[in-house]
């Protein structure tokens, strides 16, 4: 799977994941934006911003960690092979 197709698949999988969690999800329309998805909790009206990253591994099997493009944005990792999503824990500085 080429990287562009992999990224589209990861983003669409993320939309489904967040919808299953109960969020209303809006996709970004700019390619270089720090925000890939906007999720709105319909009960609290709290907005969460997500940067989607496909999960990558080193040759020894350890996970490669990525940084969000903006500090206010949460990372959502997608393992395309396993079709799994995981919201990353926020790092405390």
Note the pLDDT tens digit of each residue in 18-67: 999 999 999 987 777 889 999 999 999 999 999 999 887 888 988 877 77
Reading the block at residue 36, the tokens are: 């890939």
Fold of 3-87: Trna Endonuclease; Chain: A, domain 1 (3.40.1350)
The β-bridge relationship of strands 74-79 and 47-54 is parallel
Question: Which strands sit side by side in the sheet containing 84-87, from one edge to the other?
Answer: 24-27, 37-40, 47-54, 74-79, 84-87
pTM score, two decimals? 0.84
Reading the block at residue 93, the tokens are: 């500085």
Given a cut of 80, is residue 6 above it in pLDDT? yes
Which of 20, 50, 17 shows the shortest CA–CA distance to 35? 50
């Amino acid at each position: 799977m080429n990287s562009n197709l992999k990224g589209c698949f990861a983003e669409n999988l993320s939309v489904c994941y967040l919808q299953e969690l109960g969020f209303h999800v809006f996709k970004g329309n700019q390619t270089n934006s720090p925000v890939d998805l906007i999720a709105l909790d319909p009960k609290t009206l709290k907005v969460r911003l997500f940067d989607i990253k496909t999960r990558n591994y080193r040759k020894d099997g350890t996970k490669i960690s990525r940084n969000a493009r903006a500090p206010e944005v949460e990372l959502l990792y997608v393992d395309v092979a396993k079709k799994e999503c995981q919201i990353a824990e926020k790092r405390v500085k």
